[in-house]
Amino acid sequence: MKALVGTLRRICSERDGRLGLLFSVVVVLFALVGPLVSPSPNAIDVKARFEPPSVTHLFGTDNIGRDLMARTSAGTRYALVLAVTIVLISSIVGSLIGISAGVLGGWYDRAVTAIFDIINAFPPLILAFALIALYGTGPVTFILLITVVFIPQFGRMARARAQALRSQSFIEAERLLAVHPVTIALRHFLPNVAGPVIVLASMNLPVVITFEASLSFLGFGVQPPKSSLGTLIKDGFVSINQSWWPTVSAAIVLAIATLGATLLGEALRRVIDPKTTGVR
């Protein structure tokens, strides 16, 4: 708890960190309070098609008169839930696989590295297309898919850290005391790997958000009538001649969300992992 407060304080001590935190908080609040202040995201009002931003519809309405603020808020919520879930699962699973590979070595390590390489060999979008073609769209498929794509990143980092730790005296001391290998992995490797993993996780949040938006933009992500930042931008783009605000509002939210998460991630890296920070 004290560490958390200290980290927050240090993030707030610099401009980028404050900005990142502010943007992130705004986006999260937007996602949370949207449903409270605006009508249902799927309520159609054909008399109010393509309405410009007004007091009743802050972001205006789309081609069938749905409130864009509600839809953007729902899309943001969806993106955030997906991003957090995916990053959480892939960081935990990736760290455990990476640590075990780094600790155990041998054929297990080679097999894990080979699998990571195979997954990494595919460009994520192409891999996503293939898997969606096989397993269809839907949040669970999407989460599983992106998680698989992201696990190698965390796995590699955890593995590299674990290998570096393995020859350190304190790990050797544990082994020479015959402390159980699982205890060594969880109590002595994991906490020393956690810092960079947390940093990588925070830097991957915006990547997942954008990735989800891209897939939805291309029609491989969220299916209608549900909304996502990607589909909002796409739908707005189709009718950009009638109204520009659907695309712009969704794009601004996406930009703030990714910018906020990126700045926050960078600030977190400077706090947790100051050694890797270059001269600014």
Partner 1 sequence: MTAAISVDNAFVRFGDTAALNGVSLEVPQGGCFGIVGESGSGKTTLMRAVLGLQKLEKGEIRIAGRVLGTDRGGLKQRASIIQPIFQDPAASLSPRCRIGMLMDEVGTVLGEAREETRGRLNGLLRRLGIDPGVVDKYPHEVSGGQARRVAIARALLMRPSIIVADEPTAGLDVSVQGDLLNLLQDLRQAENITLVVISHNLAVVRLIAEDAIVMRQGVVVEGGEAGALFSAPGEPYTQELLASWPHISVRQ
Binding residues for partner 1, rule: CB under 8 A, are 168-180, 183, 187-188, 191-192
- How far apart CA 80 and CA 75 sit, in angstroms, is 9
In the complex, what is the shortest distance from the CB of residue 51 to partner 1, in angstroms, rounded to a whole number? 57
**Residue 86 or 171 with smaller CB distance to partner 1:** 171
In the complex, what is the shortest distance from the CB of residue 59 to partner 1, in angstroms, rounded to a whole number? 47
**Residue 118 or 173 with smaller CB distance to partner 1:** 173
In the complex, what is the shortest distance from the CB of residue 191 to partner 1, in angstroms, rounded to a whole number? 4
**Residue 77 or 161 with smaller CB distance to partner 1:** 161
In the complex, what is the shortest distance from the CB of residue 183 to partner 1, in angstroms, rounded to a whole number? 7
Structure tokens belonging to residue 172: 């050797």
- How far apart CA 126 and CA 163 sit, in angstroms, is 32
**Residue 117 or 172 with smaller CB distance to partner 1:** 172
In the complex, what is the shortest distance from the CB of residue 154 to partner 1, in angstroms, rounded to a whole number? 19
**Residue 18 or 166 with smaller CB distance to partner 1:** 166
**Residue 173 or 238 with smaller CB distance to partner 1:** 173
In the complex, what is the shortest distance from the CB of residue 173 to partner 1, in angstroms, rounded to a whole number? 4
Q: Which are the contacts of 184, defined by CB distance < 8 A and separation ≥ 6?
A: 103, 171, 174, 175
- How far apart CA 212 and CA 208 sit, in angstroms, is 6
**For residues 267 and 6, is the Cβ–Cβ distance under 8 A?**
no
Rg (the chain; Cα; Å): 22
H-only helix segments in the chain: 2-12, 15-37, 68-104, 106-121, 124-135, 139-166, 169-176, 181-183, 190-217, 229-238, 245-272
